[in-house]
Structure 1
């Protein structure tokens, strides 16, 4: 059996556990028995793709019986059903042909808005409801000074999976400590914490991952780039081709960071970041919360209004786990070949891509929506050449 994760689009070749199988004719007593005290997966059979009874069973399990475990869709399924399965409460779907994974991924990203509530809402409701929700969250967060309370507000206001992408920098470590202290949970699971393992991280970053997992008792997922795309990039530009031009460097960031990030954020309703307004001129207007149209989620920066002094004071007061590179003059830490220590008085971002012009040095993770949509993927650049 091969499953597709309806949240991330990833293939699961070896499911963790056998599932309790329910036929579409299962009555309420059967559903209650399956859900009662059962933490394992429940599989709902679809005899044909035209049989919609399974959608109703999943909604009953989620909404009426409060089942929080994995629900699998098995049987006769087609990619066009993917988002409807997810919104009904399914986590995974059985696919007969692993080669169809691309079609399932395309279907998961096809619909951008919905007009009805569901067991899960990975999609924004109506044309402007999500933008209004983001604006309201921005207002609420700005009125609250305590970071732990801000984290709780984020969990309360965002209905769906919340992802936290951490670089293990000072700001992100502060947020990770606050998440651990807040004890917030969504649908029975902690906020999804992950970091982008570009293949070129400092060893100290990976050591900080391990220490943080032990200290805060949470798993930090390592999200890696597609090996084929990295191979094609290096074949085209060379091992250190990113230093030859800004376009080459942006292509490297696109493959190693932006695409893996977008994959990890797929299906999330909220995205927590460590952006602060005084980190650089390009980030001077960062809101506490805003609707990210390109990714279809609310992007939250709970430290947007914090100063360096506030960050350092929090770190000292809570004995936050800190990357040892910071003590060596590294402020903003990215990939090892692209990061250097800064001199006293230099801009905090001066150590990133120091061979480039000083203004707007971003990797593409936090560019404006209009810039993001205009970015040319590596594959298209190759065709154009």
Structure 2
């Protein structure tokens, strides 16, 4: 028997560790016992190839029991199961004939560019020195001046899905321009909280027409929004910082975390000039909680660098910027900035906290809440 790596389609001829075997009839206690301590691999048996219980057990191990180790699929398996196993949390599959590894690899290749998010990111298992590699990427990007070339370098160095979450702000429009110019394969989406300025959606349409890139609109779970409003009221986010952060979490943080599941890298428009809290943001770093590489390709740009790039390339921008809006969030939570004010003074202006963040750029725990 040998194993095939579902993420790459390569053969693992001599598995290093013996796995704890779970039968398809395993109950919650058996799953909890197998997951406890994350000591070693867990193997889930498939008595027949179309037995969906193994798929469910893998998802329960990942989601409910927080298992982060290797999950193997063993038993009666066929190559066509590759994408379902991979997206459900499996890392490897047992094959009786090592020569069949090429068939499994072909199956994996057919779904290599599928943008639907997988259940979790397998990069930590494939990329042993994730922190070292991220630091190396950071140093490499620091030596590259062109934004377009930085995007190409990220694509060259990172396997799998790269996600770009855009707010349609100045930084993100510059990055979108570079993505289009680079011609590389990157998944672009924006968080539609249900409370965006109309100008933001107009900028989405204008950008799609300009660059020929689809910007997916990602919305929060309707039931969570309904429960939030029922509890706090329509404008309850202004009653306390805690209420406001709850609103941000449900409308922005949780949808973002769902979209980043299965991605190997996340591109954002953070810049060191934004605030004191972001003054040391790297060009690339390992995001431990999300298990991916977070890339901030304009982190070292000054505001002058940014505006000059936008002007030189005639990049479409949100018309709100011309009306004094610097950092643009949801309409009820954003106002124009007065001359001399901090760039983020227009966000949640009724709060007295110095550190104003919505949680998108704060590492979440496994349930998606801001730390």
TM-score if structure 2 supplies the norm length?
Answer: 0.71
Deviations 1:27-59 (A, max 9, x none): xxxxxxxxxxxxxxxxxx93456654424x677
Structure 2 residue runs of 5 or longer lacking an equivalent are 1-5, 8-47, 55-73, 94-103
C-alpha distance in 2, partners of 1:358/1:172?
26
Moved over 4 A (4+): 47-53, 77-88, 374-378
Residues 51, 319 of structure 1: alpha-carbon distance in 2 compared, 3 angstrom cutoff? same
Q: What does residue 108 of structure 1 align with?
A: 119
Q: 1:228 to 1:218 in 2, by over 3 A?
A: same
- The equivalences for 1:1-385 within 5 A come to 46-48=49-51, 51-55=75-79, 82=90, 84=92, 89=108, 91=111, 108-109=119-120, 122-125=122-125, 129-185=129-185, 191-367=186-362, 369=363, 372-373=364-365
Shift in Å, 1:123 = 2.7
User: What is the SS of the residue equivalent to 1:256?
Assistant: helix
Superimposed CA distance per residue, residues 242-292 of structure 1 (whole angstroms, 9 cap, x where no aligned partner):
000000000000000000000011100000000000111110010000000
1:258 and 1:140, CA in 2 relative to 1: closer, same or farther beyond 3 A?
same
CA gap of 1:231–1:216, structure 2 versus 1, over 3 A, is same
Distance (Å, rounded) in 2 between the aligned partners of 1:344 and 1:227: 38
CA 1:124–1:81: 2 relative to 1, 3 Å: closer
The 2-side partners of 1:318 and 1:276 are apart by 20
1:114-165: per-residue Cα shift (whole Å, max 9, x none)?
Answer: xxxxxxxx33136851111111100000011111110100100111100000
**Residue range with higher mean Cα deviation, 127-136 or 216-225:** 127-136
Change (3 A) 1:82 1:172: same
Tell me the number of residue pairs that the alignment of Structure 1 and Structure 2 aligns: 288
What SS does structure 2 have at the residue aligned with 1:46? coil
CA contact (8 A) 2:257 2:368 kept: no
* TM-score normalised according to structure 1 size: 0.69
2:62 corresponds in structure 1 to none
The question of whether the paired residues in 2 share the 8 Å contact of 1:174 and 1:311 is answered with yes
Please list every run of 5 or more consecutive structure 1 residues that lacks an aligned counterpart in the other structure. Answer: 1-5, 8-44, 60-71, 93-104, 113-121, 186-190, 379-385
- Tell me how far 1:361 sits from its aligned partner: 0.2
Distance in structure 2 (CA, Å) of the matches to 1:58 and 1:182: 34
* Partners of 2:76 and 2:298 in 1: CA distance: 45
Cα distance in 1 for partners of 2:119, 2:354 equals 36
**Displacement, 1:80?**
6.5
State how far apart, in whole Å, the 2-side matches of 1:181 and 1:376 are.
Answer: 33
Q: Give the whole-Å Cα distance in 1 for the aligned partners of 2:311 and 2:357.
A: 29
Tell me, yes or no, if the aligned pair for 1:350 and 1:358 is still in contact at 8 Å.
Answer: no
More displaced stretch, 82-91 vs 159-168:
82-91
Pick closer, same or farther for the CA change 1:80–1:224 going to 2, 3 Å.
closer
- What secondary structure does 2:272 align onto? coil
